[in-house]
Structure formats: structure tokens, C-alpha cells
Structure 1
Amino acid sequence: MISSTILDILRTPPADPVKLPILSSPLLSVLVVLGYLVFVLKLGRDFMANRKPYNVRRAMLVYNLCQILMNAGLFGLGIYYMCIRRIYNLRCMTMLPLEHPEKAQEHLIVYAFFVNKLLDLADTVFFVLRKSYKQITVLHVYHHALMVLSPPLIFHFYGTGGQYCMMGFLNAFVHVVMYSYYFVAALYPQIKGKLWWKQYITKLQLLQFVILFLQAALVLCFNPGCAFPRFLQYLQLSVSASMMIMFGNFYYQTYIKAKSKSQ
């Protein structure tokens, strides 16, 4: 049954004829995620079983700095195209038609975002090499895998852009803050425990998904004629709700419950 579903996907003509490496093929993204899961949950741990944690501090510093710059660039592009050029109607952010003069730029921005989600997988690789397995939570793996799987499937069936650009815009801002924390913590490990703004990263992540949930809910309630696919609206609602629950539970366990226990 699974194989027939995959064949059906491959036989379905893509909504957007533009060819972009990996992004144009849902099958390739599935293989990437499967390889990621096998390494993180099995092969990587087996490899590290009889080894001491690697010192990847320098690699992490370079990686975090690259993430800061890349996400800042994506956030800046989001401001330019959504707030200054206003290529979308924020009340109904539909995919731009293929003949739209800004379609090529939309393709490139969405592809850059997808490449960034591929780079995000290196986070977990660093955790494995450092044997920091407690950080490899269900939330962490679910979030990373979902962000790599979703874009190619949406690109194949619906095309690029539209309302999901808001998700990319907010995600880029949150990641600038998050990777800035990681960079400072790796650069000055002696003050890591004193960086008071760590918990606000989780609050930002929660706020991000609250905004995305409200965006889809408001469009469905007050602008039902919006041409953005209804299935994607419901998908945004369900994923945002699952993320709010998981990040909310993480925040409670890490900052509220742990604090009450220490007191």
C-alpha cells in the first residue's frame, strides 16, 4: 500500500514545472529524512558507543554563524517582499501564478528556505557526535523531519509560496534569535548557564505557532473565499496545534516544573 502511494505521487504531474534540486522530488526528501532518522536513532549512536564525545566547538561556531546570516537574509527578504513590495494580500496569501513577474524570486526564496531546513539537520548530528542524547527529543526530531518533508510535497501538489511564506518569515526570525544564543553559548561556554534569554527562545517558538494557527483560523472564518487551498489551511491549523502542545509541554517541563522542584 505504501509503495502504491509513492508511485501515485511520482505519477502525479507537478503543480510547478520548475526543477529545483531535491525540492522537486518528494521521494528524495523522504530518503533524506529516512537517512537522518536511521543515523540519529541507530547508526550514529552505534558509531559513538565506544568513543568519547567529539570536540566540535569550532564547527558549531561556524555553523551557528552561517545560520544567523542565512536566516537574517531570509527574514530581510520576507520584510522586503511582504511588507514593502507587498506581493501578497495578507488577508489571502495565494500562490503567485507562474507568469507573475515575481515568481522567479519566490522560487529562489522558497528554495533557500528549504536548503536551510536541510542544514538544520546538522543540529542533531552535532548532538550525536557530542553524545548529547538528552537533547534529541521527540519534539526535536519531529520538527526537523517535518520541515524537510513538507516543502517538497507542497511544491509538488500546490507549488511555492502563498500563505506558508508567513511561516518561513516567522521561522527565520526565531532562528536568528536561537542560533545567536547557540553561537554565544559555544563561544563562551563558561557563561552558558547565565544566558537569561534562553527560555525566551521557547516563548518565541510558541508565539510563532500561535500566530500561524490564528492566521489560518482567521482566513477560514472571515475570508472563506480565499483561493489558498483549504487542505493547506487545515494542515497549518493541525501542525501549529501540535507544535503549540509539544513546545508548551517542553516549556512547562523545563522551566516551570523544574523550577518548582528546585524550590
Structure 2
Amino acid sequence: WTLAAVDAMDSLGEQYANIAGNFVYNPSITPLGERQVVLLTSIGYVIVMLLLQELRRGKPPMNLGALPKVHNLILCLGSLVMFLGAAYEGYMEYKSTHSAKFLFCLPEGFEVKGALYFWSYIYYLSKYYELLDTVILVLRGKGLNFLHVFHHAFVILMAYLWLECAQSLQTIALLTNTFIHVVMYSYYFLVSCGYQPSWKKLITQGQIVQFMFSFICLAPFGLYYREGGCSGAAALLFNAVFNLALIALFGNFFKKSYSKSPKVTTKKAPRGIA
């Protein structure tokens, strides 16, 4: 049994190395790589969710059984795999180049390929699955809020631009966001199992810190950019504006949810929006 397990792990490792190591992003070939798919998905998501909410208005919440538990567990474990995979490949990149510059600045004309950027692609694909968050919310009778819908509608475009524009800083963004998602979806999994963890407030705080940290990372990016340019500067500008909007929205949510007034302390953490 032990030898069979070792052989299976070796085979799995070889398959991963072959798939991830040979990954090349090509919008005309890579699944979901065409921009019209991204735009139609984002627009369609907003329209369909608003229509679904109207159709469910006044109706009792649906009993979804184990679906919320399974969904949250998939996103928790999936985020953990993406975090560990990107962290490992980032370490290997640093080990081979003896430089951390790739974290902050990719050279002009950079081709998105290799195992590290395979995880950027997996992250992009995961944003489509995360749209199920909203479906579950609506079916369970939970009202939609602007922050939730805004985030899900635009985060797909953000992740797409990482690949399409070979955006610098994407590895740092991937690592911080997947780490937050591990914490967030583990919390939601425990809640769906009937537990009430005491660290709900930390989720919102972590989300705000994540977005603020992204602006700190612009300092080394700017230094490298002045030296010889970096790839994906326009996409990074979009990402920065998006993060700025999220800081404002999350800050407002935090203020309303965790103020000292007992009348506003019962709000739940925004669902699936890290």
C-alpha cells in the first residue's frame, strides 16, 4: 500500500510538472481567455442575479441541504491549494533567479507562461466558480448588497487582466488574496456547520489590510518602473482603482457593522467578497 501511494504521488507530481510547467497563456487558445467571455460573464452575472432576486422576492428560503457546506469547503481547500502552489513556485523562481524582482515588476513584453503563472490562471478560473456564492445567497433568501455584487462582477475582469496584460504584482496579489480566502471560507464553512467562530471581525480587517498592502507594493513597482519599465502598468492602474473602491466600501461596512452602537452590531460579514 505504501509503495502504491508513493507511486501515485510521483505520478501526480509528474502530471502537475508537465501541465503547469508547460502552461502558456494564449487568449485565442486558453479556455475562457477571450475578452468577450469576461465582459459577457460580468454583465450577465449582474443581470441574472438581479432577476433571480426579483423572482425569489416574497418566497421562503430554499433548503439547499449540504450545498453551502460543500461549496465553502471547496473554496477553502481550493484557496489553500492555490496559495501553496503559488508560494512554492514563487520560491522556486526566487531560487533560480536569486532575485525577488519578479514579485514587483515583470519586464516589458513578458510572456505569461510557466508553473507560477499557471496558478494565476487557476485563480482566474476560480472566480467563475465563486459566482455560485451569490446564487446560494439569493436562494437562501439573503438580500444582495452593492459590495458583494460589485466585487464579484469586477474581480473576474481583474484576474483576466493579470493574464491578458502580464500584469506586474499579480503573484503578490494572488498570495494575499488566497490566504484571506482560506480564512474567510473556513469561517463560512464552520458557520454552515452550526458553529459561530469568534473571529468574524478579523475577516473584514484582513480584507482591508490586504487592499492597503497592495498600495504599499506600488513603491518598489514604481522604482523598478523608472529603471526600465514594467509589464501591465495600465492593468495595474485598473487594479489600484478597484482596490481603492474596495477599501472605501469595506471601510464603510466595517464602520457600520462594528461600531459601539448595539443597534448596528448584528450585521453579518459580507459574503464571499475577499
Normalising TM by the smaller chain, what interval?
0.7 to 0.9
- AA matched with 1:25: E
Query: Paired residue for 1:6?
Result: none
Match 1:72 to one of 57, 76, 80: 80
TM-score of the pair, normalised by structure 1: 0.79
What is the number of residues matched between the two proteins? 235
Aligned pairs for 1:18-33 within 5 A: 19-22=29-32, 24-33=33-42
- Cα distance in 2 for residues equivalent to 1:173 and 1:57: 28
Query: Paired residue for 1:163?
Result: 169
Change (3 A) 1:64 1:56: same
Query: Paired residue for 2:179?
Result: 173
Alignment RMSD: 2.5
Aligned pairs for 1:120-159 within 5 A: 120-133=130-143, 136-156=144-164, 158-159=165-166
Change (3 A) 1:152 1:198: same
What is the deviation of 1:48? Answer: 1.4
What is the deviation of 1:18? Answer: 6.2
Residue 248 in 1 paired to residue 251 in 2? yes
- Cα distance in 1 for residues equivalent to 2:221 and 2:173: 15
- Provide the identity percentage: 25
What is the deviation of 1:91? Answer: 6.3
What is the deviation of 1:227? Answer: 1.7
Query: Paired residue for 2:222?
Result: 220
Aligned pairs for 1:195-206 within 5 A: 195-206=197-208
Query: Paired residue for 1:118?
Result: 128
Deviation string for 1:160-181 (max 9, x for gaps)? Answer: x641121111110000000000
Deviation string for 1:123-178 (max 9, x for gaps)? Answer: 11111101100xx211111111111122334533x23x641121111110000000
Pick which of 233-242 and 58-67 moved more: 233-242
Match 1:231 to one of 225, 229, 234: 234
Query: Paired residue for 1:93?
Result: 105
- Cα distance in 2 for residues equivalent to 1:47 and 1:233: 38
What is the deviation of 1:17? Answer: 5.5
- Cα distance in 2 for residues equivalent to 1:256 and 1:72: 32
- Cα distance in 2 for residues equivalent to 1:257 and 1:249: 14
Change (3 A) 1:51 1:106: same
Match 2:114 to one of 90, 93, 104: 104
- AA matched with 2:204: T
- AA matched with 2:180: V
Structure 1's unaligned 5+ residue stretches are: 1-14
- AA matched with 2:37: L
- Cα distance in 2 for residues equivalent to 1:38 and 1:241: 25
Deviation string for 1:28-64 (max 9, x for gaps)? Answer: 11111222111211x2123213532111241011111
Change (3 A) 1:229 1:35: closer
